[in-house]
Amino acid sequence: MATAATDRTAVPEPAPHVLVVPYPAQGHTIPLLDLATLLASRGGIRLTVVATPATAPLLAAHGDAVGELVLPFPSHPAFPAGVESAKGLSPALFGALIVAYAGLRAPLGDWARERSGGPDRVAAILSDFFCGWTQPLAAELGVSRIAFSPFAVYGTAVLHSLFRRMPQREDGDDESPIGFPDLPGAPAYPWRQLTLLYWTYRDGDEVSEGVRRNFLWNLEASSFVSNTFRRLEERYLAAPLADLGFRRVRAIGPLAPDAADAASGRGGETAVSAADLCAWLDGFADDDGSVVYISFGSMTVLQLPHAAALAAALERTGVPFVWAVGTAAPLPEGFEERVAAAAATAGRRRGKGRVVRGWAPQVAALRHRAVGWFVTHCGWNSVLEASAAGVPMLAWPMTADQFVNARLLVEEAGAAVPVSWGGILAAPEAEEVARVLEAAAGGQCAHVAAWAKELAEEAAATVSDGGASRQELDELVQELRELGSEPKE
């Protein structure tokens, strides 16, 4: 009997169980899955990632590191049936997606309560900040919730500031400056550069009020975890911010794969393989840094005037390029055919380009030595991937947090040159785009390229053993282990 009792007491307690709730947009889901995989690699915690049938395939690239819970996508009268993610979604429906996805709160609560008395009880929730509804869910379950931000700390604070303070423009003027007095430097942006989620807010509207409530809930989280690093955002990490509820922010990025994982399928199936694209780039091996990589992300669809200005500038300058245009972007008539013809000209470097229709292996491209510049909308994942690769950026923000990111890169980090500040409302002239391309390709922006290389060194250092981001990650793991040591009262 004594031996049996001893055996029972020797059985270790199960590792704390953390529920991970991504938001169904690639730019949100991918970095949170990267974080979940990192957390699992540290040991001592178990993670279950919530998905719907459409988003579950993204978990495949993460192997058996995390468990998965696939739930039906909730229906909502404001959101079209059969759609489960932001991919290809009209920007006008972004708010409705946030509100519709909140319908997972009830089934997820039932699932968690069924396990509340056993070894699989949920000890904490780690969720995207577009899933603010997990905050009242955590309160119902008596556990802590940590809010994950795939944005910069700066961009995250600006977004929450809008819905916290509800500033208004004067007389419907799109150029009316909107200030952020509680942020370092008290920055201001013209109304037209604010996120569409705020532009479309309507007092009393169900979707608008649901979006606002989403962000206010985040200010009650126990802490924030941000995919950023101190060298890039020291100013916004130095002290707790009122616009983030004075909560602690852990900087654990950049969550970008290293060179060995650059060809992985973490973003889903690509339209061209990393090996094929890199083989094409190898043709510029005698001219390192000569190729411009171009992408406006997985959600931004260029308007024809913007695409036409860029296409004309590329043809006018003859700068070698890879342009990942997505599946829906309109290009000027005959442009793709002319690019293909130039690419087929043996031995020709100048004017040689490649158009990729669909998802591209961006990390692999940015890490190829032939790529010297990146024309980007300044989505935060793209910013971090370029920063980790040491590639300077040509900033062309369109909407959302992109203007904030671009200002951070151009004015504070010194790692980018602006192409246009017009956003989705105003396309630049082709001559202006050509001038920026020629300056970058001609070596006139060498100081920016040097800052980008320095940023890459800092990014590598911070995620290495003993680096600041790795220390923050290990402290987060320890916090999650402690949260799971015993149930909350």
User: Which residue among 17, 28, 160, 306 is the active-site one?
Assistant: 28
H runs (alpha helix) in 43-102? 94-101
Count of alpha carbons within 13 angstroms of residue 32, beta-carbon side: 33
Q: Are 248 and 224 in contact (CB under 8 A)?
A: yes
Residue 386 Cα distances to 11, 88, 151, 200, 435, angstroms: 47, 24, 15, 31, 22
Q: Is 28 a residue of the active site?
A: yes
- Please say whether the dihedral angle defined by the alpha carbons of residues 436, 439, 445 and 448, taken in this order, is positive or negative: positive
**Residue 6: φ, ψ to 5°:** -65, -40
User: Which residue among 34, 128, 243, 401 is the active-site one?
Assistant: 128
Give the DSSP per-residue string, 281-328: HGGGTTSTT-EEEEE-TTT----HHHHHHHHHHHHHH---EEEE-TTT
Count of CB atoms within 10 A of residue 424's CB?
Answer: 18
For residues 472, 475, 479, 485, the Cα torsion angle rounded to the nearest 10 degrees is 150
* 120 SS3 class: coil
Contacts of 454 (CB under 8 A, 6+ apart): none
Q: Are 264 and 292 in contact (CB under 8 A)?
A: no
Count of CB atoms within 10 A of residue 279's CB?
Answer: 10
The C-alpha angle 315, 399, 263, rounded to 5 degrees, equals 65
Q: What is the 3-state secondary structure (H, E, C) of 442-474?
A: CCCCHHHHHHHHHHHHHHHHHCCCCCHHHHHHH
Joined together, the tokens standing for residue 488 give: 């909350």
Q: Which residues pair with 19 in a beta bridge?
A: 48, 125
- How far, in Å, CA of 284 to CA of 352, rounded? 10
Residues taking part in catalysis: 28, 128
